[in-house]
Structure 1
C-alpha cells in the first residue's frame, strides 16, 4: 500500500481495447490534521458534505476520494486543481462538471484504508474495491443478490476458493451498477451482455483487498440526467 496518502498509478487496463487507468491513495485511520490541505481543495458543497459525515474514518475516505479524483483529473486536463468541479446524476453518480470534457468518465471506490479511482476517455467505467474479511454474511448476500448460475458456482466451489469467488462476484456486480449509474438498487438485477455490451477485469488493489473494473462498450454519446450543484 502506498504511503503518505499520495496518489499513485496502480495500472492501466484495456478492456475492449479502451484504456482505463486505476489510481489509488491510502487513507488514514481517522480524519487527521494532515488531511486539512486535502480538505481545503474541496468545493464548499463538498466541504459541507464532508462535515455531515458522522465518523472521522468515513470523512477521511470521502476527502481522500475527492482529492484523488481532483488531482488526477487536473493533471490529465492540465489545469489547476481548483478549476476541477464535480456534478452528480440524479442517482448520485459523480461526473466531471468543470472544465467541460464529456469524453472523460471516472468512478471512485473506497474500502478500509484505500481509495481507488478508475478513469477512461472511452466509455463508462465502474470500480469496486472490498476488504476481504471473513466477517460477511456470504450465504445471505449470495442468496439475495447473485444470479442462479453465480450462486451455484459459488456454493459448489471448494472451501479454499469460495471466499475469493464470492468477492470476485460481488465486486463485479457492484462495479457494474456503478458503471451504468443505476446504483445499488439494481445490484441484484440480471446484468446481461457480459463480454459483448460490457466487460470486467478483476485486480488486486492491495494485499487483503479485492477489486473489479467494469467498462461498458463505448457507444454513441450517453446522455446523463445531470444535477449540477454549481448552477444555483
Structure 2
C-alpha cells in the first residue's frame, strides 16, 4: 500500500555483502557492480540498487529485476538525475552512509531525503562558509563548541534533502538556500527551477543517524520501515 497523505515511508537497509541481491540488478547495474572491487563500495552499490527495486516491487507488484528505473537529468539529459520508477504512482529519494541506505517514498508530490552521521569535532570554517547562509553562520557561531558538530550535520542534512528534491544536487549553492525554519527557501533571487510549491522540511532520526525529509506536501508521519519486509527475493 502506498503512503497515505502526509506520510513518508522510510525504508532503512543496512549495507552488507548480499550476493543473492545481485541477481535483481538490471544488466547495466550488474556490469557496474562487477567493475567495483569487492568490499564496502560494491556492497553499498548492490544494496542501494537492489533495495530500490525491492521497494518498487513492494508497491507495484512488478518483479524486482523487471522494474524500470529512469535517472535522466531534466537539465542536461544525462543519467545522473532524480531516480524514478517508470509507471509507478509514487516519488522516492535515496540517501546513504557507508553503513546504511535510506529510501524515502511519498505518494503525493516530490520528496528528497538525506542521511548522515554526526561530524567529528572541529567542523572546518571553510566548510561552514560554503554551506551556511549568513544567518545560519551566525546561529552556528553562538553555539558551544560541543554542540556545533551535531547542529552543522543537521543543517547539512536538511540542505542535501532539499536539493535532492529539486534535482539540483550538490551543484546548488548551499550557502544561498536557507533551512533554519520548516521550509527550504532560496536566499535573494530564486534558484533556477526551484519548485513553485513550498519545500517543507522535517528532521528525523533513523537507526542513530541524522536524517531529513524535504517534501512538496507537508509530512506529518515519517513511518520507518525495515529490511525484513524486503528480504524475500524474486
- Interval containing the TM-score (normalised by the shorter chain): 0.7 to 0.9
Alignment counterpart, residue 132 of structure 1, candidates 118, 130, 136 = 118
Displacement, 1:212?
0.8
1:1-232 residue pairs with structure 2 within 5 A?
A: 18-28=6-16, 32=17, 35-53=18-36, 56-90=39-73, 91-97=80-86, 100-101=87-88, 103-134=89-120, 137-188=123-174, 190-191=176-177, 194=184, 197-207=198-208, 209-217=209-217
**Distance verdict in 2 for CA 1:135–1:37, change over 3 Å:** farther
Displacement, 1:128?
0.8
Query: Where do 4+ consecutive residues of structure 1 move more than 6 Å?
Result: none
Normalised by the size of structure 1, how large is the TM-score? 0.76
Q: Which residue of 1 aligns with 2:225?
A: none
Deviates more, 1:139-148 or 1:183-192: 183-192
Displacement, 1:146?
1.0
Contact preservation (8 Å) 2:121, 2:146: no
In 2, Cα distance between the equivalents of 1:47 and 1:185?
28
Contact preservation (8 Å) 1:138, 1:166: no
Contact preservation (8 Å) 2:159, 2:184: no
Give the paired residue count. Answer: 195
Deviations 1:118-154 (A, max 9, x none): 0011111111111224067442211112111111111
Unmatched 5+ stretches in structure 1: 1-11, 219-232
**Distance verdict in 2 for CA 1:56–1:135, change over 3 Å:** farther
**Distance verdict in 2 for CA 1:205–1:148, change over 3 Å:** same
CA root-mean-square deviation:
2.3
Normalised by the size of structure 2, how large is the TM-score? 0.75
Partner SS for 1:200 = strand
Partner SS for 1:213 = strand
Q: Which has the higher contact order (CA 8 A, sep 6+)?
A: 2
Deviations 1:52-100 (A, max 9, x none): 4456211111111112111111111122222212110224321112xx1
**Distance verdict in 2 for CA 1:49–1:200, change over 3 Å:** same
**Distance verdict in 2 for CA 1:55–1:175, change over 3 Å:** farther
In 2, Cα distance between the equivalents of 1:55 and 1:143?
37
Unmatched 5+ stretches in structure 2: 74-79, 186-196, 219-234
